[in-house]
Structure 1
Amino acid sequence: MATRIRPSNKRCAVIGGSGFLGRHLVERLVDRGYAVAVFDIRQSYELPGVTFYQGDLCDKHALLVALKDVSIVFHCASPAPASDDRALFQRVNIDGTRTVIQACHEAGVQKLVLTSSASVVFEGTDIKNAKEDLPYAKRPIDYYTETKIQQEKMVLEACSKENDFLTVAIRPHGIFGPRDPQLVPILVDAARRGKMKFIIGDGCNLVDFTYVENVVHGHILAAERLKTDSPLCAQAYHITNDEPVRFWDFMSQILVGLGYSAPRYHLPYMLVYGIALLLWLMAFIMRPLVQIKPTFTPMRVALAGTHHYYSCARAKQDMGYQPVVPLKEAIARTVESYPHLRKGA
């Protein structure tokens, strides 16, 4: 086995470091004095103090090159949840994670921090201030979530104090911020096409949205507090802004900040959910004949019309977590970072 490097040397690797969360994490690690190796299928930027390795997550030999002399690995590579490519979810979240664990063992890595998801306990019904002891969803809302459940179990079960290999999982929810390729661009596109006029349900459902810098802060805290005698070993932690907000109020603040009108008209939740379910069933039945990809899915309706927010009490207690950027400031920073998406731009 390769010679282990002490964590004080601050040598780490970020798998998926070219992605939205990954890049923010890399930048913060460099600011804190870490030497960072990035492993990703693509390289999207350059940064002093960062070495890039391009390769397939399932290629253990390529991973081993990137993990040489590394003591901490952050695994935040994952396809976008909105994708419907089941084979890709399986390959990255399951097969790729299995390969990452094997490579960590062979390279002598001491700590593995996984970016999981709070959705691993969500079944499409209300969740209010949930703690981490809530059981995994028996009926996950989509295949992405199903693979994230398997991924988290795999990583936490790999924790072994005897073998000096410690693991922890971070469960963020509703990540947003500058350079986000999903939430804000998709929201603006829908507004430009006149599809953001309606509120699903009564508009009172509370949801966690988490600024990317707070998610990064949670990851780094977990890595630095993860020790043999710490309670973090083989545990999952919710990381949010700790400020549940009405789903449609959040969406409206983003839209209005960029010059678009806020949704105003209410549609009954059960009616909308029923229509979405019918469309999904029709697409499923027609699949052998024609490929239909409905954007209006039961999962998206559930996310928009139910309560789903989570307690950060365990993260506060075990790793001293507190959000570093409050929600109001986070929304303002995010809106300011998208001048090209403003109405009329």
Structure 2
Amino acid sequence: MTTRVRPSSKRCAVIGGSGFLGRHLVEKLLERGYSVAVFDIRQSYELPGVTFYQGDLCDKEALRPALKDVPLVFHCASPAPASDDRALFQRVNVQGTRTVIQACTELGVQKLVLTSSASVVYEGADIKNGTEDIPYAAKPMDYYTETKIEQEKLVLQACDKEGGLLTVAIRPHGIFGPRDPQLVPILVDTARRGKMKFIIGDGTNLVDFTFVENVVHGHILAAEHLRPESPLCGKPYHITNDEPIRFWDFMSKVLVGLGYAAPRYHLPYMLVYGLAMLLWLLALLLRPLVAFKPTFTPMRVALAGTHHYYSCEAAKRDMGYKPLVSLTEGISRTVESYPHLRHGAP
């Protein structure tokens, strides 16, 4: 019996493949016939067709075996935005990405697809149907955004059409879906503590939330369309559900779906933002003496009270992107995947 060797073009590596987006990406790649190497600081699952490499992103020697003979690399490793740890963000998003680029170049990797973030252009003011040519935020609102800007610049500047490494950045916004460790669990925890009664602002602000399967679809399309002559080289692309929704309507749909009451009392946006700034400054001043993390950071308040939604026209034009799963379907699949977080669940 002869074993069929998988063509090398169907081999890829996913850096950060143990994370929320990373694992969804790995599963979809397997479905599409790829064999996948996963590099991550931890291994959180086992799947046939996946080889795990455990190690630190900043350690090039640990990274090399995972990227050897791999033509395509997805880089979606990042600390959680809420961790607020500047040194960690700097180490993973900036130093780690430098190491990834070096390793890719040395090992002859052909394509690198980065998971960036739409927040790289967000400064707390309204963005309506934002396109990719909005300049980077001059005053990023948190360390996560600050280091994601640096990371995206590094990856896009590394693009070399003359037979070298080709790069592209995907900027998703408001990723949610089954197994999400952030959005839904934090929302439910806040509701259980009785802190989801209030709407910040007038509640009319529109925001993009993007189902994880659509984000994965955008990554794979980008990888498959990335060629020396394609417009994707060295460019960022917004990937969203392409159906902006009122921020508080989305939150209410998830909460009500899980059996919690929807928020209904309004608080003036500027008042809450001012309080968040005060608490943030206080936390900064007291940091040597007392460690406390305010629930409402200026960034979170801004995200909850302003318009921020983005245009997918470039992704539609250059890689034929369109969302596979609607927002309504995405919300219902997400809610169904959290039976243990339902109101009254044991």
TM over 0.5: yes
> What is the aligned partner in structure 1 of residue 290 from structure 2?
290
Q: How does 1:24-103 map to 2 (within 5 A)?
A: 24-103=24-103
The answer to whether 1:308 aligns with 2:308 is yes
The code of the aligned residue for 1:277 comes to M
| TM-score normalised by L of structure 1 | 0.97
Q: Structure 1 residue 103: deviation in Å?
A: 0.4
Cα shift readout 1:5-39 (whole Å, capped 9, x = no counterpart): x9863110000000000000000000000010000
Q: Deviations over 1:82-114 (max 9, x none)?
A: 011111101100000000000001111000000
Q: Hey, what's the Cα distance between the residues in 2 that align with 1:9 and 1:165?
A: 15
State the distance in 1 between where 2:248 and 2:255 align: 10
CA contact (8 A) 1:7 1:72 kept: no
- 1:200-250: CA deviation from partner (whole Å, max 9, x where unpaired): 000000000000000000000000000011000000000000000000000
Aligned to 1:132: 132
| CA deviation after TM superposition for structure 1 residue 164, in Å | 2.5
Q: In structure 1, how many angstroms separate the alpha carbons of the residues matched to 2:138 and 2:63?
A: 33
Residues 217-256 of structure 1 mapped to structure 2, 5 A cutoff: 217-256=217-256
Question: For 1:71 and 1:252, how far apart are their aligned partners in 2?
Answer: 43
Match of 2:118 in 1: 118
Structure 1 residue 10 and structure 2 residue 10: aligned?
A: yes
> What secondary structure does 1:237 align onto?
strand
In 2, are the aligned partners of 1:203 and 1:248 still within 8 Å (CA)? yes
Please name the residue that 1:3 is paired with.
Answer: none
Deviations 1:150-187 (Å, cap 9, x if unpaired)?
00000000000114210000000000000000000000
Aligned length: 340
Q: Structure 1: which amino acid aligns with 2:114?
A: L
1:82 is paired with a residue of what secondary structure?
helix
What stretches of structure 1 of length at least 5 have no aligned partner?
1-5
Distance 1:289 1:52 in 2: 41
2:263 equivalent in structure 1: 263
SS at match of 1:147: helix
Which residue identity does 1:328 align to in structure 2? T
Q: CA deviation at 1:287?
A: 2.0
Asked whether the 8 Å contact 1:16–1:75 carries over to 2, the reply is: yes
Deviation at 1:274, TM superposition (A): 0.7
Q: Which amino acid aligns with 1:187?
A: L
Counterpart-to-counterpart distance in 1, 2:138 and 2:323: 30
- Report the 3-state secondary structure (helix = DSSP H, G, I; strand = E; otherwise coil) of the residue aligned with 1:125: coil
Query: Shift of residue 139 of structure 1?
Result: 0.4
- Say if 2:339 is the partner of 1:339: yes
Report SS of the residue matched to 1:37: strand
> Is the CA contact 1:208–1:310 (under 8 Å) kept in the aligned structure 2?
yes
Pair 1:160-2:130 in alignment: no
| C-alpha distance in 1 between matches for 2:306 and 2:255 | 21
Q: Which residue of 1 aligns with 2:324?
A: 324
- Look up the SS of the partner of 1:24 in the other structure: helix
Report the Cα distance in structure 2 between the residues aligned to 1:314 and 1:14, rounded to whole angstroms: 24
Q: CA deviation at 1:341?
A: 0.4
One-letter identity of the residue aligned with 1:15: I
Counterpart for residue 150 of structure 2: 150
Q: CA deviation at 1:280?
A: 1.1
* 2-structure distance, mates of 1:337, 1:290: 38
Q: In 1, distance between residues paired with 2:62 and 2:319?
A: 33
Residues 270 and 111 (structure 1), Cα distance of their counterparts in 2 relative to 1, 3 Å cut: same
Deviation at 1:130, TM superposition (A): 0.3
Task: Note the C-alpha offset of 1:319.
Answer: 0.3
Whole-Å Cα distance in 1 between the matches of residues 341 and 141 of structure 2?
30
Q: Deviations over 1:303-322 (max 9, x none)?
A: 00000000000000000000
What is the root-mean-square deviation in Å for CA atoms of aligned residues? Answer: 1.0
2:16 corresponds to which letter in structure 1? G
TM-score relative to the length of structure 2: 0.97
CA distance in 2, matches of 1:184, 1:87: 27
Deviations 1:275-306 (A, max 9, x none): 11111111112223222221221111000000
Please list every run of 5 or more consecutive structure 2 residues that lacks an aligned counterpart in the other structure.
1-5
2:210 aligned residue: 210
Percent identical pairs in the alignment equals: 82
Q: State whether residues 84 and 142 of structure 2, in contact with CA within 8 Å, keep that contact through their aligned partners in structure 1.
A: no
Match of 1:89, as an amino acid?
Answer: F
